[in-house]
A and B are shown apart, each in its own frame.
Chain A
Amino acid sequence: QSALTQPPSASGSPGQSVTISCTGTSSDVGGYNYVSWYQQHPGKAPKLMIYEVSKRPSGVPDRFSGSKSGNTASLTVSGLQAEDEADYYCSSYGGSNNRGVFGGGTKLTVL
């Protein structure tokens, strides 16, 4: 069982927006602004899409955005494209005793 809870699946049509949630506790997501999001295509390594809740690494399209409210973080993908179909994982700093906790992943399908 993963430390952070994500919906197993999400979907949207090309051009639409979709939001994926990531729920933790006050000891991880809610306690720090250190939530990251990763995109993983089949057979590939994960790719960092968002860090520190809402910051985008260089090269990540601005269609990807992150936010947080209380113990729940969210990743929004706007203007869905076929290549956005992938698994998405959230992670969070979990305090000095557990520096890294991940969500179980969400499979995003572009209809």
Chain B
Amino acid sequence: QVQLQESGPGLVKPSETLSLTCAVSGYSIRSDYYWGWIRQPPGKGLEWIGSMYQSGSTYYNPSLKSRVIISVDTSKNQFSLKLSSVTAADTAVYYCARDRALTASFDYWGQGTLVTVSS
């Protein structure tokens, strides 16, 4: 059974960098599939942040591209998200998920972690 678990600070100050890690168990990131991050502001809809392949190839939402870096650590079977220059608008539940084919089709999800941007 594929399982994903997000971890990272729940509170980030404005203008700083949000950093999250997604630990994957039950499946090797090296094997196949893409791996992505999606966020959901409180009471609002879903937004795709970006996805990556085990080779290190990355694909980002154009609206966030200038502030996002997604990276992989295959030795630890995990991947990470960094979002720079955050503002209150970046407050959201952040999910990591397995992306079936880089087509916004996410079949396994983490439970999500709430990140609040506030001083």
Contacts and interface: CB of A to CB of B under 8 A. Distances in A.
Contacts of A57: 107
B45 A100 contact: no
A48 B105 contact: yes
Contacts of A102: 45-48, 104
Contact of A101 (B59, B102, B104, B109): B104
Contacts, number: 70
B58 to A, nearest CB: 11
B12 to A, nearest CB: 21
Q: Provide the main secondary structure of the chain A interface.
A: loop
Contacts of B106: 36, 38, 46, 48
Contact of B59 (A46, A89, A99, A104): A99
A32 B100 CA distance: 15
Nearest to A28: B104
A49 to B, nearest CB: 11
B110 interface: yes
Contact of B61 (A48, A93, A100): A100
Given A98-B62, A99-B51, A100-B51, A34 B105 contact: yes
A89 B45 contact: yes
20 contacts: A34-B101, A34-B104, A45-B109, A46-B95, A46-B106, A47-B109, A48-B105, A51-B100, A51-B105, A91-B46, A91-B48, A93-B102, A93-B104, A99-B48, A99-B102, A100-B104, A101-B48, A101-B104, A102-B48, A103-B45
Given A34-B103, A91-B46, 9 more contacts: A32-B103, A45-B95, A52-B105, A91-B105, A93-B104, A98-B62, A99-B104, A100-B104, A105-B46
